[in-house]
């Protein structure tokens, strides 16, 4: 059994014991477990917090069983995929505004996975760069900064 099969079994068991009738499928290309549910809102939670907690828990259990297992994502009825698409769209809109105004634009607070996604999206962008504070806060705001901005050192760490 590989790490995704173990994760599928763990996730199916946990949700089954909790009384959620679900089906869990593996997407090996995306390293994702996809949950199909009749009531996804309960599993997703407010702004995806419960989904993040489920993903964290299952990753930890799999890491305990297979210490070198790579991390994977858990998605419910394509919620995470749609959220990531919307986040990138919003970041692209902010980048257009930043270039047009010549001023930095701060995005909504994000967790580390979301920040990595946005930083990676803009990694080779010709007109903007991204920055986020290096403090220990769980949620941080990324700044989208035009590369031609005169003084980017005025960014605050909030």
- Domain boundary assignment for the chain: 3-77, 82-150
Domain 3-77 grouped into CATH 3.10.580.10: no
Looking at per-residue confidence, does 48 or 26 come out higher? 26
Render pLDDT for 66-117 as a digit per residue (tens, 0 to 9): 999 999 999 999 999 899 999 999 999 999 999 999 999 999 999 888 999 9
How much of the chain, in percent, has pLDDT values that exceed 70? 94
Residue 90 is encoded by which pair of tokens? 């919003």
Q: State how far the Cα of 59 lies from the Cα of 56, in Å rounded to an integer.
A: 5
Domain 82-150 grouped into CATH 3.40.50.620: no
**What pTM does this model have?**
0.73
Do domains 3-77 and 82-150 share one topology? The answer is: no
Render pLDDT for 74-85 as a digit per residue (tens, 0 to 9): 999 999 989 999
The H or E element spanning position 25 is strand 22-27
């Amino acid at each position: 059994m590989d790490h995704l099969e173990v994760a599928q079994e763990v996730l199916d068991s946990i949700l089954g014991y909790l009384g959620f009738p679900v089906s869990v499928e593996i997407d090996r290309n995306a390293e994702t477990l996809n949950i199909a549910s009749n009531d996804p809102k309960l599993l997703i939670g407010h702004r995806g917090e419960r989904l993040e907690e489920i993903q964290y828990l299952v990753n930890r259990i799999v890491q305990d069983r297979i210490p070198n297992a790579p991390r994977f994502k858990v998605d419910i009825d394509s919620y995470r995929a749609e959220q990531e698409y919307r986040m990138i769209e919003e970041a692209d809109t902010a980048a257009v505004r930043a270039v047009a105004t010549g001023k930095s634009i701060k995005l909504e607070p994000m967790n580390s996975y979301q920040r990595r996604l946005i930083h990676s999206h803009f990694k080779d962008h010709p007109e903007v760069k991204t920055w986020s504070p290096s403090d220990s806060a769980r949620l941080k705001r990324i700044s989208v900064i035009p590369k031609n901005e005169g003084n980017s050192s005025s960014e605050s760490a909030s």
